[in-house]
Amino acid sequence: MLFRPVLATLGYILSPDRQQVLMIQRNKRPDDLHFGKYNGLGGRLEPHEDIVSGMRREIREESGLEAEELVLRGTISWPGFGKNGEDWFGFIFRIERWSGQPHAGNHEGTLVWVPLAELERLPLWPGDRYFLSMVFDDDPRAFHGCMPYHNGQPQSWSYVRV
């Protein structure tokens, strides 16, 4: 069986005081797999695009901001995550410096600044709770995980930090 995942980015934009994170509340399209959930910003990598350029493009498209300082916090393989069971592989970034003014939202949802202390109380993908703390911690090592999904639910979680 060949592994041909959808390559994607997922970015968490910190406020200048590092106390809040910009999230999208997916509330615009009821047929959206993410409908009702909060998520970081990001999406699929385009052909002939490196992962950092892809992350910057997604941030620009989804928020109107220009990502200036990005920190790769980790990678996650999500076998079976897609709407039709597709495998996804994500590069997880923390955006520590940016310019511009965020707009109110986009075709997927509303942009909301959320206090970091409140983040895990939001309706998130169930699997996000396994790795979010590592996105924002001070450990300089990146995490690299695998989280198989089945019927929209994570089946397990394993990771290493290097």
35: domain CATH number is 3.90.79.10
Is 125 inside a domain boundary?
yes
| Domain containing residue 17 | 6-161
Cα(89)–Cα(79) distance, integer angstroms:
8
**For 26-77, what is each residue's pLDDT tens digit?**
999 888 777 899 999 999 999 999 999 999 999 999 999 999 999 999 999 9
Residue 83 pLDDT level (bands cut at 50, 70, 90): confident
Burial of residue 51 (CB within 10 Å: 0-12, 13-18, 19+) is middle
**For 110-156, what is each residue's pLDDT tens digit?**
999 999 999 989 999 889 999 999 999 999 999 999 999 998 899 99
78 neighbors 149 (Cβ within 8 angstroms): yes
Spatial CB neighbours of 109, under 8 Å, sequence gap ≥ 6: 24, 25, 26, 27, 28
